[in-house]
Amino acid sequence: MASKGSKSSRRSTAPQPKTKPSPSDVHDIIYFQRHKDDDPAMPAPGRAELLSWPDSVRAKVFAVAAAVAGAPPNRFSGGGYWEAMHGNMTGWYEIRLDGPGREHFRLFCQLDYDALDKDGAPVGKPYLVIIDGRRKAFRTTLAESEYAKIRALGIEYRNRNKPRSAI
């Protein structure tokens, strides 16, 4: 048995600092949920949009999200289903699928390495956060006003930590 002042006893009783999650870690998938102070109905926009999509599209989205989160995202190469966005949407990612009638389905996601738990400590795994989603007709683009709404939700998500407003 180690004496009271020995190195082994100090090592076993000293608290270990908790470090932030790494981009190379497997990610947990969460859905952004609006905070009651921002919207009393507390919707989860990405989840609500996803649940409105056809079953076949939802199944593919779940498979892509699981593959991306498990890869993890910075190592995922998935044939155009997971794309980093550019321009005003830099820092965002899309899960991109086409569905029946060649309709386009898009989930807008962010990666979160700064989330804290309720005690203010870093969470165990980084998050792949589904913020919002859109569907659009074949060969159409979203208006800048739609992207602005999505970015605003992302800012709202980032502004609440300890813990994040998510489900």
Phi and psi (nearest 5°) for 101? 70, 20
Q: Which two tokens stand for residue 11?
A: 């090592």
Q: Please indicate, yes or no, if residue 116 is contained in any of the structural domains.
A: yes
Task: Please write the tens of the pLDDT for every residue from 32-71.
Answer: 999 999 999 999 999 999 999 999 999 999 999 999 999 8
Tokens 């939802």, located at residue: 58
Q: Please indicate, yes or no, if residue 43 is contained in any of the structural domains.
A: yes
Q: Please indicate, yes or no, if residue 1 is contained in any of the structural domains.
A: no
Q: How confident is the model at residue 31 (pLDDT cuts 50, 70, 90)?
A: very high
Contact status, residue 130 vs residue 47, Cβ threshold 8 Å: yes
Structural domains in the chain (count): 1
Q: Please indicate, yes or no, if residue 105 is contained in any of the structural domains.
A: yes
86 half-sphere exposure, CB direction, 13 A CA radius? 0
Task: Please write the tens of the pLDDT for every residue from 96-114.
Answer: 999 999 999 999 999 999 9
Q: What is the pLDDT of residue 15?
A: 55
Q: Please indicate, yes or no, if residue 8 is contained in any of the structural domains.
A: no
Q: Please indicate, yes or no, if residue 84 is contained in any of the structural domains.
A: yes
Determine the structural domain holding residue 87 and report its residue range. 36-159
Task: Please write the tens of the pLDDT for every residue from 129-144.
Answer: 999 999 999 999 999 9
Q: Please indicate, yes or no, if residue 144 is contained in any of the structural domains.
A: yes
Given a cut of 90, is residue 11 above it in pLDDT?
A: no
pTM attached to this predicted model: 0.85
Which residue spans within the chain are E strands per DSSP?
Answer: 28-31, 82-84, 93-98, 104-112, 127-136
